Amino acid sequence: MGTDWPFKTDPVSFIVNAGLSNRGADIDNVIKPILDTYQGIFEEFNDNKVYYVELHKEIVSKGEEFLRIRVTSHNGA
């Protein structure tokens, strides 16, 4: 908490790359905890300002799991 959200109340886009070790893991299970975490970190962030989400799943070895998250201003295109 207390960290400034650089996008204020502007719409944003999330691009998420998830390295998962379980081939059966559902990619949609990744996004809700991410958005909830951002709401806990940034006081100004509200997930109703997320207008676009792009998710990518990559299978990796156990112990090599990762999340790469990029947040940008949403241009409405």
- Answer yes or no: are the C-beta atoms of 18 and 67 closer than 8 Å: yes
pLDDT for residue 76 is more than 80: no
What are the structural domain ranges in the chain?
12-73
Q: Is the pLDDT of residue 46 over 80?
A: yes
d(CA 64, CA 76): 35
Which band of pLDDT confidence, cut at 50, 70 and 90, is reported for residue 31? very high
Higher pLDDT, 36 or 1: 36
| Total-model pTM | 0.87
pLDDT confidence of residue 77: 52
Query: Is residue 3 over pLDDT 90?
Result: no
